A = this chain, B = another copy of it.
Amino acid sequence: MGNSGNINIKELAQRLNLSKSTVSRAFRGHSDINLETKERILKVAKELNYQPNHHASNLRAQQSKNIAIIVPEIANNFFSQAIDGIETVARERGYHLLIYLTADNFESEVAYVNDLYNGRADGIIMSVSGEANDHSYMNKLEKKHIPLVFFDRVYDDINTAKVTTNDYASSFEATMHLIEAGCKNIAFLVTNKQLSIGKKRMQGYLDALKHSGLPFRDELIVDCSNDINKNYDILTHAFKTLAIDGVFASVERLAFAAYYVCHDMNINIPNQVKVISFSSLEIAPLLNPALTTITQPAYDMGVQAATLLFRMFAGEEAVNDQVVLSSKIITRNSTL
């Protein structure tokens, strides 16, 4: 038997009475090779379960056919749908997907990126962690010629391709929607005010208030955490003290927290408080009450991000490409 099941090109060539090069040619597209020889090789290869070793091939080719996806979390409607989109494009092109979860931890993010300088991935698609820090470390990627595409949550100061949605405009619109529904004390729920995405959404909120002549109250910007229990407490306190009659959640998770709190405090949605939220939840209509959402084209964003990355692989200077897709506000009972 020998080392059963670990046949390499050399052994295969011996069994076929051919040279390694000829066998190799059978597996590559180009290079001349006799059709019959090729078929004979492939047939035996299949029988013996031979496949060219990935590391050896890639060491020569200096590429991995891997794409690294770095996201804060995966158990999240938005990100899982986006990954789905990336997968569709990557699979078409024969690329593989590596997944990294930062849990919004900046150190993890840095560690992952640093771990990708070694050829494990040919490119990176990333939605950045929530923490505000020095991210110049990312510039090293450029030096290594590893293409990078940001999506949704981006670092504005890093010069690379980006796929985002019209956060400012839809936030403005969402806030106007609440105002038109009669809300006067609208809370804006954020997880991280510093993050560019939080800023843009907040700016839309602020400008809508101003546009409508409503006063801005700093307390109504409710800075939440990633901890579900803490958020419950934060929101409970907010509802107790702020006379809130409208909630704009910049992130799905915070809308759910608001639902739980309102339920427990016997606050009726939408009669006493109206709620709108960024959300990719497909069953938003099934909630009690059905949630009015600003729905981002998550899947499509993934497709676009992957497409940009492949453009960069092809040598096109896509670094400056900024794709902006539109979110859609879907009105449901929570803002009736």
The copy count of this chain in the complex is 2
A59 touching B53, Cβ below 8 Å: yes
Residue A58 interfacial (CB < 8 Å): yes
Within 8 A of B (CB), among A26-85: 49, 51-56, 58-59, 64, 66, 73-77, 80-81, 83-84
**Residue A4 interfacial (CB < 8 Å):** yes
Q: Which residue of B lies closest to A56 (CB)?
A: B59
Residues of B within 8 A of A80 (CB): 74-76, 80
Bound together, the chains give a CA A58 to CA B54 distance in angstroms of: 10
Interface of A is mostly: mixed
Q: Report A's interface with B, CB cutoff 8 A.
A: 4-6, 49, 51-56, 58-59, 64, 66, 73-77, 80-81, 83-84, 87, 91, 96-101, 117-120, 140, 143-145, 256, 259-260, 283, 285-290
21 pairs of residues in contact across A and B, judged by CB atoms under 8 Å: A4-B143, A5-B143, A5-B145, A6-B145, A49-B117, A49-B140, A51-B118, A53-B59, A54-B64, A55-B59, A75-B77, A75-B80, A75-B81, A87-B101, A96-B100, A97-B99, A97-B100, A259-B283, A283-B287, A286-B287, A288-B288
